[in-house]
Amino acid sequence: MLDQWYTGIVTRILQETANTRRFWIKMPELGRFDFKPGQFVTLDLPIHEKKNKRWRSYSIASHPNGTNEIELVIVLLEGGAGTTYLFNEVREGSELTVSKPQGAFTLPEQPDRDLFLVCTGTGIAPFRSMVHYLHLHQIPHPPIYLVFGTRTEQDLLYADEMRCLAREMPGFTYLPTLSRDENPDWWGQRGYVHAVYESLLADKRPAHFFLCGWKAMIDEAKQRIQAMGYDRKDIHLELYG
What digits encode the pLDDT tens for the residues 68-115? 999 999 999 999 999 999 999 999 999 999 999 999 999 998 889 999
| Whether residue 35 has pLDDT greater than 90 | yes
Write down all domains in the chain, each with its CATH number in brackets: 5-99 (2.40.30.10), 114-240 (3.40.50.80)
Buried b (16+ CB within 10 A) or exposed e, 64-82: beeebbbbbbbbeeeebeb
| Whether residue 239 has pLDDT greater than 90 | no
Give the 3-state DSSP-derived string for the chain, with helices as H, strands as E and coil as C: CCCCEEEEEEEEEEEEECCEEEEEEECCCCCCCCCCCCCEEEEECCCCCCHHHHEEEEEECCCCCCCCEEEEEEECCCCCHHHHHHHHCCCCCCEEEEECCECCCCCCCCCCCEEEEEEEHHHHHHHHHHHHHHHHCCCCCCCEEEEEEECCHHHCCCHHHHHHHHHHCCCEEEEEEECCCCCCCCCCEECCHHHHHHHHCCCCCCEEEEEEEEHHHHHHHHHHHHHCCCCHHHEEEEEEC
| Whether residue 233 has pLDDT greater than 90 | yes
CB 69 within 8 A of CB 33: yes
* pLDDT at residue 32, rounded to an integer: 97
* pLDDT at residue 1, rounded to an integer: 64
Could you tell me what percent of the chain has a pLDDT over 70?
99
Categorize the per-residue pLDDT at 51 as very low, low, confident or very high, splitting at 50, 70 and 90.
confident
* pLDDT at residue 241, rounded to an integer: 64
Distance from CA of residue 134 to its chain's centroid? 15
pTM: 0.96
CB 180 within 8 A of CB 152: yes
* pLDDT at residue 31, rounded to an integer: 95
| Whether residue 49 has pLDDT greater than 80 | yes
What digits encode the pLDDT tens for the residues 176-218? 999 998 888 999 999 999 999 999 999 999 999 999 998 999 9
* pLDDT at residue 52, rounded to an integer: 86
